[in-house]
Structure 1
């Protein structure tokens, strides 16, 4: 009888022990689940904050780029009249006037235009801290929707008036003539001289020569 009672007691105690262990394991699982939920929420919040910060940074970068483009456009669009100085990145261009001619040069050494020459009297002042060498790419004539370039070959016949390949030291001004070979009687009602300081035209302005 005692053996049966002991067996019953062991079984009863075993059942209770299994129940206690199961309850403890259940609490641990719940605790892990509860702990993971805040971590997940925190991760989501951090991701959202990071995304917001990145979006904000991208927006700021876009605004900065737009501002820079607007500034560059404003610099490019500056326009002056004949006789007025045009400052393009510390190089001062002035068109003082112009004339027309069928030829350039003298009686011994000259060249005849394919159309007619427009000869622009210009002044270039160098306010930079280093010397500047002029070339024909610094000037373009824009008229009637067409762009005309100055040919350095014609400048050879201008003698002392030629400024092509001349060097301008800091603080000095160079005076000379820029020739353009254009169709006779070219309409200059909307014409401008485009002046630039680099061969790629990254820094430029316009001088209105319209009649």
Structure 2
């Protein structure tokens, strides 16, 4: 009996299918993102995206399907589709948030987790407020909690950053637990007062500043 196992077979097959996909050969799914169309094989995409798997399951056609995606970046979706075939992502730092949003939309959990780890590893006093707002917009409570913890431990450095002084609103919600008294009330008061002076000095109106909350 001859027993032969080709360890390179599965990856070689997927790479070949990816090339077919790029040339729109033997495809049965097109993702429409804005003005861009991204071809794919539904069986491959369904293996990495529970969202696509469930959507395809509800369709009643064996022919070519087209599905529109809203609120995500086309290049990010293309990278995720390519990832489904080659199991590899190479994403510039400034595109990580778009990949995060697309992976959240398509429920590609491993990529989403990798994006979160990347975001957390690059948190700094200069960018954490913007990342906190991003996490809130994405309704990611775990990421919000991690960033809140970072803010709590680095509050004094954060108040010296340009990002803090460029906050658009006056009301500040300080996220902290009373038993973790890293910041005194006086520090918070002086921080808000200093921000107010700087903002008004640049021509902003107090009534406008107080319209909504900016979380810190």
TM over 0.5: no
Q: Which has the higher helix share?
A: 2
Higher RCO (CA-CA < 8 Å; seq separation 6+): 1
What's the TM-score, normalizing by structure 2? Answer: 0.24
Structure that is richer in strand per residue: 1
Higher alpha-carbon Rg: 1
